[in-house]
Structure 1
Amino acid sequence: MAETKFLVTGGAGFIGSEIVKQLLDKGYLVRVADDLSKKDAKVDSRAQFVKVDLTDYQKTKPVFDGIDIVINAAAKIGGIGYFHKYPATILSENNKIYSSTFEAAVTAKTKRIVYISSSMVFESTFFFPSKEEDLFKIPPPVTSYGFSKLTGEWYCKAFWDQYKLPYSICRPFNAYGINEFPEREPGFAHVIPDLIRKILSGQYPLELLGDGEQTRCFTHVSDVASGIIAVSLHPKGENQDFNIGTDHEIKMIDLASKIWNIMELGKPFKVKFVSGFKYDIRKRIPDVQKVKKLINWQARVNFDNGLKEVINWLAQQKAAGKLDFPQKKLAN
């Protein structure tokens, strides 16, 4: 076990850092490659760390030396607001990362590359719950981010066809958990830290983007990481794609109400619906039977417990002055 050496690109990010932690806890040798561009980047001190621009092949190539399995979590990523503001950056930078990392993996004769895709590849679907094979029955994604993540999946297949580079594709569905900070600009963060930040800052009524009827299935980051690791180590994970998540669907209005009630604010829950973004997914629910049957994996963290953990953690960050937002008292 300990002889297997992992490289986690983007290993200082939200999902990547949890993957690194779990691998190290299991006794694996881990190298982290990251440019530390995210403000909440964190590197486990037990890992070997290389600060590197992964868009540059010449700088990336030596990072892959001696690696058995690459978990490719590096990408330009953000909430729906980020997708809309930086579509060209997302396409351009992610494509450079794919080219650089996949070519480096071939040169280093890596045993497998595990690509972290996204549920956004299903943004145009009309099949629910969405199965892995549905991807070939639906239109391509309409956002640059969704299209970019789908492009990464085609890198996997193309590099297998031409170079016989073994791959696994993992598609996390709406990861949440501690160590993910909210952003100042609306929609730039993922919805759970964004809603908690609004409440902690005293926003009342609570503003919701769109009509609140959008649905998601949230997966705790520890479950996402354990699923990715399970796929990366399993023989049946090779040259396969997997949805990593839960099928517990919740509306955004119900999510907001749940968070509000957990926080026990002493005020009635009240919302104000504000204009959403041009491209917002109305419904997202994965079929998770494939990963359960082939890999014998399923998510385990109870959603209410996970939410409480995130709420408590962000409240602690606020108390420590680590949330860079103007704080207000709740309005009367």
Structure 2
Amino acid sequence: MVTGGAGFIGSHLVDTLISRGYCVHVIDNLSSGKKEYLNPSAIFHNMDITSSEAYDVLLSESPEYVFHLAAQADVSRSTKWPFEDMQTNIAGTLNLLEACRHFPVKSFVFSSTSAVYGNAPTDFIDETCPPSPISFYGLSKFTSESYIKLYGDTFGIPFSILRYGNVYGPRQTSKGEGGVIAVFLETLMKNESLKINGDGLQTRDYVYVQDVVEANILAAAKGNQHIMQIGTGKKTSVLQLINLLQNVHSKKITSFHAQDRQGDIKHSCLDNRFAKRILTWEPQFPIKDGLRKTYWSYTS
């Protein structure tokens, strides 16, 4: 069962699982996912993760593996509507966990985020860094993590929590966490200037979507009540991103600076050594290669 299986990361995960012979069910309300991203071999349930229908589907299908990717993932939106953010991210997760209490799920794999750390005291973050979210989105994800751990301890639900860096790749929309690459590419396709929030020196750990998919699948098989960071361990600034894009874009890229976004963190780079050791996982796509593949997906 993949929640958010019509979304950016979820649809790539569904495609890969189906290509490897799994029967895959998808729960998605299509609020941000797209029906055209749904694999035709997936069994689709058009519903909200907070609904009783979603609870009932989990009970009736009793999947071996639950990959929970559905979320409200827009930092700015979480600041405008914290209650809505809480309902989707926390109440939705609880609804799924409650269902998982009643059948022998082998693994509950949760998509979390480096946003749980807020402005961390170090630029290179490992799993021992204390979470201190500065956005309601980060807070809702960290709260969901806490519920998952307690459900695991109390009811014996096996879980893996994956804290992603900034995921990018084909099918990403210009909205949501980590969407700067999608924003830039959509802007370039319109022949418009790129808007840089702040000075452009803010850094992120950009990880390609297929690397994240592989981490999810490995976590379902090898994770055991672990919290792991899924990133490249390398930081890239917004200005560096633009330079990399210029290498694949035929026209001269122009840009302008605007104010910083409220709730955004300045620097974030994830130590991925724990995930490498536990999952025997290794990111396969350097930023220049992943960016090139993503760019061509927008032009094809």
Say yes or no: TM over 0.5: yes
Is the 2:167–2:178 contact (alpha carbons within 8 Å) kept by the matching residues of 1? Answer: no
Structure 2 Cα separation of the partners of residues 229 and 252 of structure 1? 30
Structure 2 equivalent of residue 292 of structure 1:
276
Is the 1:83–1:144 contact (alpha carbons within 8 Å) kept by the matching residues of 2? Answer: yes
Is the 2:49–2:88 contact (alpha carbons within 8 Å) kept by the matching residues of 1? Answer: no
Structure 2 Cα separation of the partners of residues 260 and 283 of structure 1? 23
Closer, same or farther in 2 for the Cα pair 1:188/1:197, shift >3 Å? farther
Structure 1 Cα separation of the partners of residues 34 and 106 of structure 2? 31
Is the 2:25–2:45 contact (alpha carbons within 8 Å) kept by the matching residues of 1? Answer: yes
Structure with larger Rg: 1
Secondary structure (helix, strand or coil) at the match of 2:270 reads coil
Structure 1 equivalent of residue 105 of structure 2:
110
Which of 200, 205, 209 is the aligned partner of 1:221?
Answer: 209
1:259 aligned to 2:255? no
Structure 2 equivalent of residue 150 of structure 1:
142
Which has the larger displacement, 41-50 or 170-179?
41-50
Secondary structure (helix, strand or coil) at the match of 1:17 reads helix
Structure 1 Cα separation of the partners of residues 65 and 256 of structure 2? 47
Which has the larger displacement, 125-134 or 208-217?
125-134
Is the 1:228–1:244 contact (alpha carbons within 8 Å) kept by the matching residues of 2? Answer: no
**Paired AA for residue 8 in structure 1:** V
* TM-score, structure 1 normalization: 0.84
**Paired AA for residue 34 in structure 2:** D
Structure 2 equivalent of residue 37 of structure 1:
31
User: Once the 2 structures are TM-superposed, how far is the Cα of residue 212 of structure 1 from its aligned partner?
Assistant: 0.3
Is the 1:40–1:181 contact (alpha carbons within 8 Å) kept by the matching residues of 2? Answer: no
RMSD over aligned Cα, in angstroms?
A: 1.8
Is the 1:40–1:179 contact (alpha carbons within 8 Å) kept by the matching residues of 2? Answer: no
Secondary structure (helix, strand or coil) at the match of 1:70 reads strand
User: Once the 2 structures are TM-superposed, how far is the Cα of residue 43 of structure 1 from its aligned partner?
Assistant: 1.3
User: Once the 2 structures are TM-superposed, how far is the Cα of residue 39 of structure 1 from its aligned partner?
Assistant: 5.3
**Paired AA for residue 292 in structure 1:** K
User: Once the 2 structures are TM-superposed, how far is the Cα of residue 227 of structure 1 from its aligned partner?
Assistant: 0.8
User: Once the 2 structures are TM-superposed, how far is the Cα of residue 178 of structure 1 from its aligned partner?
Assistant: 0.4
Closer, same or farther in 2 for the Cα pair 1:11/1:149, shift >3 Å? same
Secondary structure (helix, strand or coil) at the match of 1:133 reads coil
Secondary structure (helix, strand or coil) at the match of 2:228 reads strand
Render the CA deviation track for 1:205-254: whole Å, top value 9, x for unaligned.
x32111101001111100001011111111xx111111011012111111
Render the CA deviation track for 1:77-98: whole Å, top value 9, x for unaligned.
13x4333333331112222201
Is the 1:56–1:96 contact (alpha carbons within 8 Å) kept by the matching residues of 2? Answer: no
* TM-score, structure 2 normalization: 0.93
1:60 aligned to 2:20? no
Aligned 1:92-171 pairs, distance under 5 A: 92-135=87-130, 138=131, 140-171=132-163
Unaligned segments of structure 2, at least 5 residues: none
Structure 1 Cα separation of the partners of residues 15 and 177 of structure 2? 26
Structure 1 Cα separation of the partners of residues 57 and 237 of structure 2? 46
Render the CA deviation track for 1:160-213: whole Å, top value 9, x for unaligned.
122111111111111100011335xxx887100101122222223x32111101
User: Once the 2 structures are TM-superposed, how far is the Cα of residue 59 of structure 1 from its aligned partner?
Assistant: 4.1
Secondary structure (helix, strand or coil) at the match of 1:272 reads strand
Structure 2 equivalent of residue 323 of structure 1:
none
Structure 1 equivalent of residue 291 of structure 2:
307
Closer, same or farther in 2 for the Cα pair 1:210/1:175, shift >3 Å? same
Closer, same or farther in 2 for the Cα pair 1:262/1:59, shift >3 Å? closer
Runs of 4+ in 1 over 6 A off after TM superposition: none
Structure 1 equivalent of residue 258 of structure 2:
274
| Identity between Structure 1 and Structure 2 (%) | 28
Aligned 1:186-197 pairs, distance under 5 A: 190-197=179-186
**Paired AA for residue 286 in structure 1:** L
